[in-house]
A and B are shown apart, each in its own frame.
Chain A
Amino acid sequence: MEDILTVESLSKRFGGLYAVHDLHFSVQAGQIVGIIGPNGAGKTTLFNLLTGFLRPDSGTMLFNGEEIVGKKPHEIVTKGVARSFQVVRPFHQMSVLQNVLVPSLSKKLLKKSLSRASHEANARELLESVGLGEKTGFLAADLSHGDLKRLDLARALATEPDLLLLDEPFSGLAKAEIDVLLPFIEALNNKGLTIIIIEHKLRELMKLVKRVIAFDFGVKIGDGTPEEIANNEAVIKAYLGGGARGFAAI
């Protein structure tokens, strides 16, 4: 499999503090990769760098072989990278359907020159698939947190990405909701979508991914299968402090 994303020597500093420090990793097309790390480890900063919301101080990021450093967020979406947000950012005073129709105005989708009606049909289908089919006419402001998470995911998928960055998709969700979402994300990956997922709910994450990258203080401290990461000394130390063992049992 070829690399869809290659990150080399990526660094980002806020004041004197490195949020991301000399980061190297690559993701192959079709992979699903988990990113873990304590709060403030630089995970969301990495997503902000990858999607053009922040500009790195140094380093390169190649997506499908193309440099994306310095590209604007909308340009990166057009290249095929979509993201969800840790704290959902719906368009509150717009209907659920309209929320998912906004990406149809991206350059990538405009190029397809589909009619308004077919964009709408696609959006409805997408909403159906995430379980919001009954609520297309609701205002986003009236949705529950779980529904907003799904809406956020649907909006990211509506950009028709090749790489999907999910920032804590399970946070604040009840177990029953996670049980629905987990296979849905798995199915997306099975259809060929490359996914990078930040998650604190390790039990769920470890079920979903075959590779995990662990972060602490902006530095990569581990990269491997879930089992390898669970037994990685540096990771255990970062999460539980020195001396803790049996992390895999969590």
Chain B
Amino acid sequence: MKMRSKESWRSRCLSILGRMVPYLIVIGALSIVPVFVKSYYIIDLLILCNIYAVFLASWDLLTGYTGQISFGHSLFIGGGAYTAGLLNFYLHLSPLITIPIAGLVAAGFGLGLGIPALRLRGPYLALATFAASGILSVLTSVFWKYTGGEDGLYGISSLTDNIVAKYYLSLALLVICCGALLLIVKSRYGIGLLSIREDEIASMASGINTSKYKIVIFTVSGLFAGVAGAFYCHNQLHVGTEELSLSLSILVVLMSVAGGIGTIIGPIFGGYLLIFLNEWLRFVEDFRMLIYTGAVVMILLFLPRGILPTFILMVRYLIGTRISRSGD
């Protein structure tokens, strides 16, 4: 009996390791990038991608997985960015301190938004999240003496002066935050989140305390978005209203949907793709926005599941394996 349990433990470890292989390959590839890529411009872009990955994955936990439609993710991102920015600008606290505090403050915003959000569903919730992010934006104008108003605050300290080191820090941010988010959705509680997205009434009838789940998820989503927002602020050396803007919230939704929501990895992929697409199109500057938005519309029209899930299905189809039904 003992032998068997030892064996099953070993086989479980092996199967977990097996499932981690694709992630390890991607992380491995990302960690050798600076060896081959010497262009600071590209590395800078990759840092941006890594930060956005956390914005997108934390949004996906809330909306893609739990079905709580948020059009106000900039509340958490900007909340984190402004917390870090103000703490650093006025109190000269190091990023090591500002980033965790920013995460906690944004988690508080998540909690504060999550409780009233319990009463709202679908488009009404989306509007409420949108309005909530507007409140913070207005507050930065009201207290312009402290926040710098439209201009924001310049001269925020950098994480490090070495761009390669900064790249690795952003990679660590990606791995830790997105890893934690993946662990949450792959844990046994993951199906609880999905059940709320699929049918909240049936979820309650199955014994799920949906209110508790939703509040926790709002808080966790806020936490990670806030941490990444603070990182972003220290990366840009500036905090401003664009971190609180509706366009950022929409960009988060757009990139996630294009990548494939409800998968955590899909939105991250979507972020990388669209950030690079946007930059590559700079050689046709006049048509850049036209091609970019056109490409997004095409993705939404023809790949409604998102790029990554469609791509995975295609690969499975091509190598002739039976299309596995999700989750089993």
A contact set with B: CB distance below 8 Å: 51, 53, 72-74, 77-78, 82-83, 85, 89-95, 97-98, 101-109, 116, 119, 136-139, 142, 155-156, 158-159
A107:B328 contact, CB within 8 angstroms: no
Complex interface: chain B residues within 8 A of A83 (CB): 205
A-B contacts, 15 listed (Cβ < 8 Å): A53-B201, A53-B205, A74-B207, A77-B207, A83-B205, A90-B198, A91-B195, A91-B203, A92-B199, A93-B197, A103-B207, A105-B191, A106-B207, A155-B206, A159-B206
Which residue on A lies nearest to B198, using beta carbons?
A91
Given contacts A85-B202, A137-B325, A137-B328, contact A94 B191 (CB under 8 A): yes
Complex: A53 Cα to B199 Cα, angstroms: 14
B188:A95 contact, CB within 8 angstroms: no
Which residue on B lies nearest to A75, using beta carbons?
B209
A94:B326 contact, CB within 8 angstroms: yes
Which residue on A lies nearest to B203, using beta carbons?
A102
Complex interface: chain B residues within 8 A of A136 (CB): 328
B209:A116 contact, CB within 8 angstroms: no
B48 an interface residue at 8 Å Cβ cutoff?
Answer: no
A94:B205 contact, CB within 8 angstroms: no
A94:B204 contact, CB within 8 angstroms: no
B189 an interface residue at 8 Å Cβ cutoff?
Answer: yes
Interface centre among A51, A89, A104, A142 (most CB of B within 10 A): A89
Contact residue among B197, B198, B208, B327 (Cβ-Cβ distance under 8 Å from A74): B208
Task: Looking at the assembled complex, report how far the CB atom of A209 sits from the nearest CB atom of chain B, in whole angstroms.
Answer: 23
Which residues of B (272-314) have their CB < 8 Å from a CB of A? Answer: none
Task: Looking at the assembled complex, report how far the CB atom of B63 sits from the nearest CB atom of chain A, in whole angstroms.
Answer: 14
B236 an interface residue at 8 Å Cβ cutoff?
Answer: no
Complex interface: chain B residues within 8 A of A119 (CB): 188
Complex: A159 Cα to B209 Cα, angstroms: 13
Interface centre among B194, B195, B201, B207 (most CB of A within 10 A): B207
B207:A108 contact, CB within 8 angstroms: yes
Complex interface: chain B residues within 8 A of A85 (CB): 202, 205
Complex: A107 Cα to B328 Cα, angstroms: 24
Task: Looking at the assembled complex, report how far the CB atom of B200 sits from the nearest CB atom of chain A, in whole angstroms.
Answer: 10
Binary A-proximity of B62-75 (CB < 8 A = 1, otherwise 0): 00000000000000
Contact residue among B197, B202, B328 (Cβ-Cβ distance under 8 Å from A89): B202
Complex interface: chain A residues within 8 A of B199 (CB): 89-92
A102:B206 contact, CB within 8 angstroms: yes
Binary A-proximity of B204-237 (CB < 8 A = 1, otherwise 0): 1111111000000000000000000000000000
B324 an interface residue at 8 Å Cβ cutoff?
Answer: yes
Complex: A109 Cα to B209 Cα, angstroms: 13
Q: Which 5 A-B pairs have the closest CB atoms?
A: A106-B207, A137-B328, A77-B207, A91-B198, A89-B202
Which residue on B lies nearest to A99, using beta carbons?
B195
Complex interface: chain B residues within 8 A of A103 (CB): 206-207
Contact residue among A73, A95, A108 (Cβ-Cβ distance under 8 Å from B328): A95
B192 an interface residue at 8 Å Cβ cutoff?
Answer: yes
Given contacts A102-B195, A105-B192, contact A93 B208 (CB under 8 A): no
Binary A-proximity of B176-193 (CB < 8 A = 1, otherwise 0): 000000000000110110
Task: Looking at the assembled complex, report how far the CB atom of B189 sits from the nearest CB atom of chain A, in whole angstroms.
Answer: 6
Complex: A97 Cα to B206 Cα, angstroms: 14
Complex: A58 Cα to B191 Cα, angstroms: 36
Task: Looking at the assembled complex, report how far the CB atom of A49 sits from the nearest CB atom of chain B, in whole angstroms.
Answer: 14
Complex interface: chain B residues within 8 A of A94 (CB): 191, 194-195, 198, 326-327
Complex interface: chain B residues within 8 A of A138 (CB): 325
Interface centre among A51, A78, A101, A107 (most CB of B within 10 A): A101
Given contacts A102-B191, A104-B188, A105-B192, contact A95 B325 (CB under 8 A): yes
Contact residue among A91, A98, A107 (Cβ-Cβ distance under 8 Å from B202): A91
Which residue on A lies nearest to B204, using beta carbons?
A73
Complex: A103 Cα to B206 Cα, angstroms: 5
Complex interface: chain B residues within 8 A of A89 (CB): 199, 201-202, 205
Complex: A155 Cα to B205 Cα, angstroms: 9
B191:A74 contact, CB within 8 angstroms: no
A98:B188 contact, CB within 8 angstroms: no
Given contacts A94-B327, A95-B325, A104-B188, contact A77 B194 (CB under 8 A): no
A98:B203 contact, CB within 8 angstroms: no
Complex interface: chain B residues within 8 A of A142 (CB): 325
Contact residue among B192, B203, B204, B326 (Cβ-Cβ distance under 8 Å from A139): B326
Which residue on A lies nearest to B209, using beta carbons?
A74
Complex: A74 Cα to B197 Cα, angstroms: 17
Which residue on B lies nearest to A96, using beta carbons?
B328
Complex: A74 Cα to B204 Cα, angstroms: 5
Complex: A115 Cα to B96 Cα, angstroms: 38
Given contacts A89-B199, A102-B195, A116-B188, contact A107 B326 (CB under 8 A): no
Complex interface: chain A residues within 8 A of B189 (CB): 105
Complex: A90 Cα to B205 Cα, angstroms: 11
Additional pairs, 20, CB under 8 Å, beyond known A90-B202, A92-B198, A107-B207: A53-B201, A74-B207, A77-B205, A82-B205, A91-B195, A91-B199, A93-B194, A93-B326, A94-B326, A98-B191, A102-B203, A104-B188, A105-B208, A106-B206, A106-B208, A136-B328, A137-B324, A137-B325, A155-B202, A156-B205
Task: Looking at the assembled complex, report how far the CB atom of A48 sits from the nearest CB atom of chain B, in whole angstroms.
Answer: 10
